């Protein structure tokens, strides 16, 4: 008997949902933009402080260290003190950290201010998502999550050109000062338009878990990043990776005994969360290499100026921006399972297409490929971000946001490492002193293959997974003649 096609229930996104999503997305955009915009300004800041530019990399790593250590604690803190209170406090801490970065007289002061910024960012990202999850209706999650996907896709691409513009035409300190008005407006908007939501913590704070997870994440993230870039001695990189692996094992053993660990991997037993989280990790690893590989290929391989490179890479962000009106319609029409499978395959193919880019290509053709890729990646990430929470109980939502955000952060770092390592291996095999276009092509093929792994994982979920999130209602199958015959009515229990 044929299965009836699903009906599409009418869904109207409420003003409250749109307001909450925009406020949270604005704060997350500030955080995502700030984490990348500084990279372009490091040489100028090095000259101002009198340091070697290579040493200035500590301003980036100190921020990432704060994120790695404190993101796992965000869920428990939100439950204990209230998600809105923590989100507002995170905006305040991040803004104060930005002011101190702009006032920094030297590198040590800047590093301390970046650590403070990282603490604010570590609370802002997962707690902002938690606010949204606890305040919007379940069938409005797709629309709400579309807003939250954009900062992650747009920020890393816009950061370098904006940083270059500010450094070229203004003082580098304005890179941090521009966060002040955004932070103040965000703080006011959260206070006026977002209600407090709170769940009692399931257990006492997991201090040992914070220690083990912090060591594991910082060791793995920095070890992977430096391994791909080749900026540190191999012995030191191996030591960082060793600390990360040993700490991860220690955390896993500890989490099995703790009633409410900071990173609760038992959430992986939930069908939607487990499948979406696993697929998201592979997909994000491949996509995470783009902000590293694409600008370098355009500048080193094609010989374009940094400004030209930034204008071209912006096309992928533009694709993400125009995807929002289509995302909910696509998921309602095709469902999560089919969308994640087919869209994942096409996204991987478009990423592989970057391997064919050459200086002789018309700029319009490169724009078109990047625009289409950004469009489909936004759809894919929104689907992952929404489906992950489709079967998470309300009382475990904070734990889910902590684990999911930690996975996103780790996967993004692994993506940069994978792209850099693939490029280095291709250059070594070809015996090129500097990367050539052929080496970049090989690297893009490698990361595209990593991205493609995510597509078949979607087939592990049932075809109707997440239908309640999109308003897809499957009509009951028509009854057979036998089943349609009236059955005797039992009066017992009336």
| Per-residue confidence (pLDDT) for residue 487, from 0 to 100 | 41
Q: Distance from CA of residue 244 to its chain's centroid?
A: 21
Domain span at residue 359 reads 263-470
CA torsion sign for 431, 436, 440, 441 is: negative
| Residues 151 and 166 reside in one and the same domain | yes
| Residues 181 and 247 reside in one and the same domain | no
Counted domains in the chain: 3
What is d(CA 379, CA 238) in angstroms, rounded to the nearest whole number?
A: 37
| Residues 122 and 190 reside in one and the same domain | yes
In a domain, 494, yes or no: no
Mapped onto helix, strand or coil, the DSSP state of residue 6 is strand
Cα angle value 332/334/336 (rounded, 5°): 80
Task: Give how far Cα 145 sits from Cα of 307, 379, 439, Å.
Answer: 31, 10, 36
Q: Distance from CA of residue 223 to its chain's centroid?
A: 20
Each as own residue / partner, the long-range contacts of residues 204-207 (CB below 8 Å, 24 or more positions apart, any chain) are 205/73, 205/76, 205/80, 206/76, 206/258, 206/260, 206/261, 206/262
Of 278, 85, 121, residue with least CA distance to 198: 85
| Per-residue confidence (pLDDT) for residue 457, from 0 to 100 | 95
Q: In the structure encoding, which two tokens stand for residue 182, read together?
A: 């955004």
| Residues 221 and 254 reside in one and the same domain | yes
H helices of 12-82, where?
Answer: 15-49, 58-70, 74-81
What is d(CA 295, CA 300) in angstroms, rounded to the nearest whole number?
A: 8
Provide the CATH number for the domain around residue 275: 1.20.1250.20
| Residues 160 and 249 reside in one and the same domain | no
| Per-residue confidence (pLDDT) for residue 478, from 0 to 100 | 47
| Per-residue confidence (pLDDT) for residue 488, from 0 to 100 | 40
Is residue 126 exposed (0-12), middle (13-18) or buried (19+ Cβ within 10 Å)? Answer: buried
In a domain, 492, yes or no: no
CB contact set of 176 (below 8 Å; sequence gap of 6+): 34, 98, 99, 101, 102
What pTM, to 2 d.p., does this model score? Answer: 0.82
What is d(CA 159, CA 157) in angstroms, rounded to the nearest whole number?
A: 6
Ramachandran category for residue 305: left, alpha or beta (phi over 0 → left; psi -120 to 50 → alpha): beta
Q: In the structure encoding, which two tokens stand for residue 220, read together?
A: 């793995």
Task: Give how far Cα 186 sits from Cα of 95, 116, 135, 176, Å.
Answer: 10, 18, 17, 16
What is d(CA 373, CA 320) in angstroms, rounded to the nearest whole number?
A: 9
| Residues 69 and 169 reside in one and the same domain | yes
In a domain, 35, yes or no: yes
In a domain, 164, yes or no: yes
| Residues 61 and 190 reside in one and the same domain | yes
| Residues 270 and 410 reside in one and the same domain | yes
| Residues 119 and 239 reside in one and the same domain | no
Q: In the structure encoding, which two tokens stand for residue 55, read together?
A: 């040493």
> What is the DSSP secondary structure assignment for residue 148, as one 8-state letter?
H
| Residues 108 and 144 reside in one and the same domain | yes
| Residues 400 and 360 reside in one and the same domain | yes
In tens digits, what is the pLDDT along the chain, a chain of 494 residues?
445 556 555 555 677 777 888 888 888 888 877 777 776 677 778 788 887 665 676 777 788 788 888 999 998 999 889 889 999 999 999 999 999 999 998 888 998 999 999 999 989 988 988 888 888 877 788 888 877 777 766 766 677 677 777 877 888 888 889 889 888 998 999 998 888 877 777 778 899 999 999 999 888 887 877 765 556 677 888 898 999 999 999 999 999 988 889 899 999 999 899 999 999 999 999 988 887 788 888 888 888 876 677 778 777 777 777 777 788 888 888 889 999 999 999 999 999 999 999 999 998 999 999 999 989 998 999 899 899 988 898 888 989 999 998 998 888 878 878 888 888 888 888 888 888 889 999 999 999 999 999 999 999 988 888 888 887 665 444 444 443 344 443 333 33
Could you give phi then psi for residue 281, rounded to 5 degrees?
-60, -50
């Amino acid at each position: 008997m044929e299965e009836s096609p699903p009906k599409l229930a009418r869904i109207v996104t409420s003003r409250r949902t749109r307001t909450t999503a925009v406020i949270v997305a604005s704060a997350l955009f500030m955080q995502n933009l700030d984490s990348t915009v500084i990279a372009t300004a490091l040489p100028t800041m090095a000259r101002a402080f009198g340091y070697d530019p290579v040493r200035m990399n500590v301003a980036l790593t100190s921020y990432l260290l704060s994120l790695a250590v404190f993101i796992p604690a965000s869920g428990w803190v939100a439950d204990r003190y209230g998600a809105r209170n923590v989100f507002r406090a995170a905006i305040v801490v991040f803004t104060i950290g930005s002011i101190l970065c702009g006032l920094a007289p030297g590198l040590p002061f800047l590093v301390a201010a970046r650590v403070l910024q990282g603490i604010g960012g570590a609370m802002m990202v997962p707690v902002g998502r938690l606010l949204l999850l606890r305040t919007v209706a379940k069938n409005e999650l797709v629309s709400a999550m579309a807003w939250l996907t954009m900062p992650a896709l747009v920020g890393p691409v816009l950061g370098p050109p904006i940083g270059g513009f500010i450094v070229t035409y203004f003082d580098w300190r304005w890179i941090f000062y521009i966060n002040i008005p955004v932070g103040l407006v965000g703080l006011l908007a959260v206070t006026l338009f977002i209600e407090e939501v709170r769940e009692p913590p399931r257990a006492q704070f997991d201090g040992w878990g914070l220690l083990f997870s912090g060591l594991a994440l910082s060791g793995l993230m920095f070890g992977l990043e430096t391994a791909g870039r080749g900026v540190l001695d191999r012995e030191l990189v191996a030591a960082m990776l060793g600390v990360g692996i040993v700490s991860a094992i220690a955390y896993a053993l500890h989490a099995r005994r703790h009633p409410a660990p900071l990173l609760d991997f038992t959430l992986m037993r939930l069908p939607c969360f487990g499948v979406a989280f696993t697929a998201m990790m592979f997909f994000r690893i491949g996509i995470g290499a783009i902000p590293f590989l694409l600008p370098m290929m355009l500048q080193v391989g094609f010989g374009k100026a940094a400004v030209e490179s930034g204008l071209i890479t912006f096309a992928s962000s533009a694709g993400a921006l125009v995807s929002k009106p289509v995302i909910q319609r696509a998921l309602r029409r095709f469902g999560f399972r089919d969308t994640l499978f087919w869209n994942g395959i096409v996204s991987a193919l478009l990423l592989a297409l970057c391997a064919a880019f050459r200086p002789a290509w018309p700029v319009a053709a490169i724009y078109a490929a990047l625009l289409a890729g950004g469009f489909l990646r936004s759809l894919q990430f929104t689907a992952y971000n929404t489906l992950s929470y489709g079967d998470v109980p309300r009382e475990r939502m904070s734990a889910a946001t902590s684990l999911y955000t930690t996975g996103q952060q780790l996967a993004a770092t692994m993506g940069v490492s994978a792209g850099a390592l693939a490029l280095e291996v291709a250059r070594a095999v070809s015996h090129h002193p500097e990367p050539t276009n052929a080496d970049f092509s090989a690297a893009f093929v490698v990361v595209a293959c990593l991205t493609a792994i995510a597509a078949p994982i979607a087939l592990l979920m049932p075809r109707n997974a997440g239908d309640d999130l999109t308003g897809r209602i499957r009509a009951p199958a028509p009854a057979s003649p036998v089943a349609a015959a009236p059955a005797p009515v039992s009066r017992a229990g009336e």
